[in-house]
Chains A and B, each alone.
Chain A
Amino acid sequence: MSAARVVALRDLIFRWTPRDEPCVDITHLEIGAGERVFLHGPSGSGKSTLLGLLGGVLAPERGSIRFLDAELTQLGARARDRFRADHVGFIFQQFNLIPYLSAIENVLLPCRFSTRRGRRAAVRSRTWLGEAARLLRQLDLEPGLDRRPAMRLSVGQQQRVAAARALIGQPEFVIADEPTSALDAERQQAFLALLLRECSDAGAALLFVSHDRRLAGAFDRELAMPSLNRADAAREAA
């Protein structure tokens, strides 16, 4: 098992109930350390399910999900939750933040759930708070907004705070599910640039899911859901 590989999926099959057709059917997928992968596909192609599998909230019927040195399919639910907390950062399309917590409190959430990430954050900046503030500055957020309740931030600001949260404590893998779809065109490019920079700074692999192929150029690799997911292709054919 080479240390450079972050995620390796093999012969992965998932269906919602035993009677359904498979929703996800992936023969092979590998993502290396620090690699930036662009995944596009229309809705209904199984993207969300794949993210759920990668995040460990869903368990496949068959197959293997190797994540760093761990085989996710052999871990219990609790262990998978802990694994996700320790190694994965998530950015969603919108409503990324807990509305009643401030920006910086949102960024600190992963440190509260993962001792590993908390430790790494403290290594980087001596205190969690310091590291959270540093990330927010890197992502171009004005200092005055740190303590503002998340629900009073603009969408663009919220997405940047979400990126900071995903990156604090240097997780090995960041999954971004359509993070720019709610932003307007000029902000999209800016956000993408910031995200890519911080991911490489943290040494994190990035899986970027989007339906907008115009953004794909900045990435190392581009994947299409229908060709990756045989279940999707089967659906298309049917």
Chain B
Amino acid sequence: MQWLALAARSAWNRRLTLGLTLAAVALSVTLLLGIERVRRDARASFANSISGTDLVVGARTGPVQLVLYAVFRIGAATNNIRWDAFRAIADDPAVAWSIPLSLGDSHRGFPVLGTTPAYFEHFRYGDRRALEFSAGAPFHGLFDAVLGAEVADRLGYRRGDRIILSHGIGGAGLPEHADKPFTVVGILAPTGTPVDRTVHVSLEAITAIHLDWQGGAPVPGFSIPPQYVRKFDLSPKEITAALVGLKSRAAVFRMQRRIDDYAGEPLLAVLPGVALDQLWEVVGTVERTLLAVSAMVVAVGLAGLVAVILAGLNERRRELAILRSVGARPGDIFLLLTVDGLIVTVLGCAVGVLMLAALTAAVRPFAQSHYGLGIHLQLLSLPELRLLGAVVLVGLVASLVPGYRAYRLSLADGLTPRL
């Protein structure tokens, strides 16, 4: 037990050089754990974003792309699907419910979703959880809007506030539908999914605000005031995608085949779970590469630690001889030097974990508002503990090297090292 105290004092004496290697180990541990945590939280977040939906239907792009823009509001559709194609699907006897989705507008960086009240009734996330309102109710009037929790929170909106939508997805500088403001009638409870950062309006409203627009910009000199829009036919002609729920889950393959074969239009229907798996396959290679790189960084950090201890070994030969003269055995010397490296490894891991916590706290709001990703501030999970254990183990094995060298030196030097 005194070895720990002696090693600690000795390490404290060399705290400048050891401190640098400790910082290296700590940073590499933060990197390793951080990548692992983001990876797992992102996967969980994606998996939790949609539930109870049998098929996601859109124009014929790719399955991953379709799910990304329809569910996660990331990216854009290449094509829309016509309303009658949607109705043909919705009216199919195998379908229990369907939710049309219309994307393309935004509000101060947050995407706007045009949909029907069926959305609030049938949409599920996480483990079959339904959407709840923290204030208000679904939209009723034409220019009503329902905000996700994040939108209301970040922009400080409350029921009754008026908002202006912009045309297109992006930040500032987009053309606005300034003459047709919307009223906030409802705010959803937080879900930890992309729903939180979405502004929900009715499909008719999307048609209404684009009545006097053509080709992505307002027609100059032509404007239809909001009170007259009802005089026009506001039924939607096109939507971006649709979510479909079936009466029997096992019917999903037949329905998928039917939609894919639909003669009227090139459509694509995907099972969200399967599309997610395909996404993970693509992302998986990147993940593994990142993990491998961070593992190498850890190895480099530990190698540096070992190098520093080895380099300092020569100066400590006198010290070791003194210890031997008061009765230390060569095995004790071996322990002393090994513990030296182990202390720095363990402390490095501890500091790395603390830095990870600080980093997580800092990054969370950004990830949530920009990507709808829920990153959790949590105690170490089991996979993370295993990673840490592996780092400590490798550090221990690496520390055996200076330990052994000191052992041999001590044996050779005896009480009187020839320096």
Contacts and interface: CB of A to CB of B under 8 A. Distances in A.
Partners in one complex: yes
Contacts, number: 64
Interface string B154-197: 00000000000000000000000000000000000000000000
B415 interface: yes
Contacts of B324: 57, 81
B415 A99 contact: no
Interface string B79-114: 000000000000000000000000000000000000
Contacts of A97: 322
B61 interface: no
Contact of B325 (A48, A90, A99, A112): A90
B327 A77 contact: no
Interface string A88-99: 001010011111
Given A48-B416, A90-B415, A100 B9 contact: yes
Nearest to A110: B326
Of B2, B322, B326, most A-chain CB atoms within 10 Å: B326
Contacts of B330: 77
B294 to A, nearest CB: 35
Contacts of A78: 329
Given A51-B415, A52-B416, A90-B415, A98 B329 contact: no
A228 interface: no
B12 interface: yes
| A interface residue count range (under 10 / 10 to 19 / 20 to 34 / 35 or more) | 20 to 34
B10 interface: yes
B13 A100 contact: yes
A35 interface: no
Contact of A113 (B321, B327, B414): B327
A145 interface: no
Interface of B: 2, 9-10, 12-13, 318-319, 321-330, 414-416
Given A48-B415, A82-B327, 18 more contacts: A52-B414, A52-B415, A55-B325, A55-B415, A57-B324, A57-B414, A77-B329, A85-B327, A90-B415, A92-B416, A95-B318, A96-B322, A98-B323, A99-B319, A100-B12, A101-B9, A109-B322, A114-B327
6 contacts: A48-B414, A51-B416, A77-B329, A90-B326, A92-B322, A110-B327
